[in-house]
Structure formats: structure tokens, C-alpha cells
Amino acid sequence: MTVPETCRIAVLDDYQGVALASADWSPLPPGCTVDVARDHLVGEDLVAFLADARAVVVMRERTPVDAALLDRLPALELVVTTGMRNAAIDLGAAAERGVTVCGTRGLAGPATELTWALILACLRRIPEEVAAMRDGAWQTTVGQELEGRTLGLLGLGHIGQRMARVAHAFDMRVTAWSPNLTPERATAAGAELVGKRALFASADVVSVHLKLGDRSRGLVGVDELRAMRPDAWLVNTSRGPIVEETALLTAVREGWIAGAALDVYDEEPLPAGHPFRDTPGILATGHIGYVTAGNYRSFYTDVVEDLAAFLAGAPVRRLA
């Protein structure tokens, strides 16, 4: 790619307005302009914002980049996504249209930390106790301890393994299941491989750490939630569509399980009137598992490097 006198770069979904401050953008060639959209754009607003952009930066799966969108962006030559995997980008369609896709590195800790924050908040009833203190009350709930309880990990990849290490610090038993998990890999990660139903039936906390794909979409439904005990919790900080929304709402409302903690959803941002926002027994956060200052520095530093390398004719961290 020959860098034109002017090269417009569009940055999407910078909700907190941190993209430009999280990295040094000066390595970009003279003539490059960077425009940032802080609101989530869809439809014609999205197309209009990207109309003359030669490069677009997307944050995780906040904005789908599919064939239909690519067909309306003839000037587009590069998509940079934060992270090295983005299920919302049609890599095949990008390749067919000559659009390069590059990724970035990120920190391993933030998602694990947020998952444990949610687990502790649920079992120790922290939101309820904070609200009670503000209302002038004192000790209104009885929490549950982690020691001696069982953490069931649905997925034992990079984050799942970190989850297991933390669980052992709490003296928890750790079980795990995924379609291709072997006993040897589970043992090496400090977990016990069990059957899928056994994981849901025996765990005090089931935590989802699978990648979203055809095999994992809708993997947690009525049968799995019915297998859980009424005092057990489900936590999903992976991807929303892995857990069937309707089934989970029914499970919480009817007391099949104690409750759920969620950071991910089928539709994001979660619509204002969605029942996950106000259903008792559901603790919901707005996909903040990766939202930390350090992670943003890592993301956007690599974004600038990806952009500069592509404009110099030597793309790095290519996904397509």
C-alpha cells in the first residue's frame, strides 16, 4: 500500500474516550488522521462514519464487520481488531475483498480478575450489603465461603487455567470439562476432568471459559441449568451466546439455581430494557472483563504498530 497524502483511520466504539490517550500515535506517517467514535454506531450511521476510511480499528466484538458492510466500504484496506481473535469479523469476506485484518496482544489477567470479582460479589452478597449500608442497615445477608467448595470450569484454556490456580488459593476443588479436554491436560492445570453433566451437577460455581463457535453456541441450556443445584451459581465472562438467555432467565426466576453473574450478552451493548439488567439474582456488568488501563495500553500500542506496519507495506499479526 502506498500511503496517500491523506489517510483517514476510523476508531470505533471508544466508549470511555481512551483510545488516543492509551498509546503514542505519532509513529503514523504524516497525513494520517484519526477519527474516534465514542458512541456505538449501527446501520447508516456506521457506514457514513467509515465511508472514506482506509483503515478501521474495532474493539473486540462490539461492531460486526461482515460482507455486507465491507461491500459498502470500497476505500477500506485494513481492519485492526483488539485481540487476536474476533468472531464478529468475517475473515473470509475480508480476504476475498483484499482487506487485510490484523490483531493485537493483550494482558491475560483482567478477565480472570473480573471473573473472581463477580464470584466473590455473588457468594458474599456484596451488592446487597453495600446497598444496605447506604440505607443505614447492618448485616442483612448470610454469605457463602469458597473454602471446600467446587469450582466447575467449562473450558480449561488460558483463562481457565488461571482460574484454577486462583481457586486453589481459596482451597477449592476444581473440576473441568470441554469437548477435547484430556485427563492429562486437566491434571496438569490442577483440575479434575469430569463429564459435562457431572460438572453442572456437582459445582457450587460454574464458570464459562470457552471460545464462541458452532460447537459452543447454546452449549448451556435447560438441561445443563436443570442439572445444577439450587444453591449454585453460573458465571459467564466469556461470550453471551454460549448460554441460552431464555433458559438462564427461567433458571434464575424459578430458583433452579441461586443466581448468575454475567459480563457478556447476545446483544451488546445490552438494550436498556433487557431483563438481565433488573432481574433479582442476576449480577450484570457491561463487558468490562478486558477494560483496564493496562490492557488498553497494550491494545492501542499494538494498534498503532499494526497501522504503521501496514502502511509501510509489512503487516504484522495478520489474521487475514
User: Which band of pLDDT confidence, cut at 50, 70 and 90, is reported for residue 2?
Assistant: low
Is 80 exceeded by the pLDDT of residue 259? yes
Say yes or no: 226 and 129 in one domain.
yes
User: How many residues belong to the chain?
Assistant: 320
Say yes or no: 145 and 242 in one domain.
yes
Residue 113 structural domain: 109-284
Say yes or no: 142 and 261 in one domain.
yes
> What pLDDT is attached to residue 5?
63
Say whether 239 is catalytic: yes
Say yes or no: 18 and 57 in one domain.
yes
Per DSSP, the residues of 205-221 read EEEE----STTTTT-B-
Query: What CA–CA distance (Å, rounded) separates 273 from 42?
Result: 19
In the chain, % of residues over pLDDT 90: 97
The three cell numbers locating residue 133: 449500608
User: Which band of pLDDT confidence, cut at 50, 70 and 90, is reported for residue 6?
Assistant: confident
Adjacent-strand bridge partners of 192: 175
What is the sign of the dihedral through the CA atoms of 308, 310, 316 and 320? positive
Say yes or no: 171 and 38 in one domain.
no
Domain count, the chain: 2
Task: List the catalytic residue out of 8, 239, 244, 305.
Answer: 239
Chain position carrying cell 447476545: 266
∠ Cα 57 6 58 (to 5°)? 5
Q: Within a domain: residue 160?
A: yes
Say whether 277 is catalytic: no
Q: Within a domain: residue 148?
A: yes
User: Which band of pLDDT confidence, cut at 50, 70 and 90, is reported for residue 183?
Assistant: very high
> What pLDDT is attached to residue 108?
86
Say yes or no: 115 and 244 in one domain.
yes
Backbone angles phi, psi at 261, to 5 degrees: -120, 130
Is 90 exceeded by the pLDDT of residue 99? yes
Say yes or no: 131 and 279 in one domain.
yes
Say yes or no: 264 and 124 in one domain.
yes
Task: Sort 234 into a burial class: Cβ within 10 Å, 0-12 / 13-18 / 19+.
Answer: buried
Query: What CA–CA distance (Å, rounded) separates 92 from 194?
Result: 36
> What pLDDT is attached to residue 39?
95
pTM, two decimals, is: 0.93
Q: Within a domain: residue 2?
A: no
How many Cβ atoms sit within 10 Å of the Cβ of residue 45? Answer: 12
Per DSSP, helices labelled H in 135-209 are 158-169, 183-188, 196-202
Task: List the catalytic residue out of 61, 77, 224, 268.
Answer: 268
Task: List the catalytic residue out of 287, 305, 317, 318.
Answer: 287
> What pLDDT is attached to residue 3?
54
| Buried b / exposed e along 15-41 (16+ C-beta atoms within 10 A) | beebbeebbebeebeeebebeebeeeb
What is the per-residue pLDDT across 280-295, written as a single tens digit (0 to 9) for each?
A: 999 999 999 999 999 9
User: Which band of pLDDT confidence, cut at 50, 70 and 90, is reported for residue 35?
Assistant: very high
Say whether 268 is catalytic: yes
User: Which band of pLDDT confidence, cut at 50, 70 and 90, is reported for residue 110?
Assistant: very high
- What CATH number corresponds to the domain at position 150? 3.40.50.720
Amino acid at 126: I
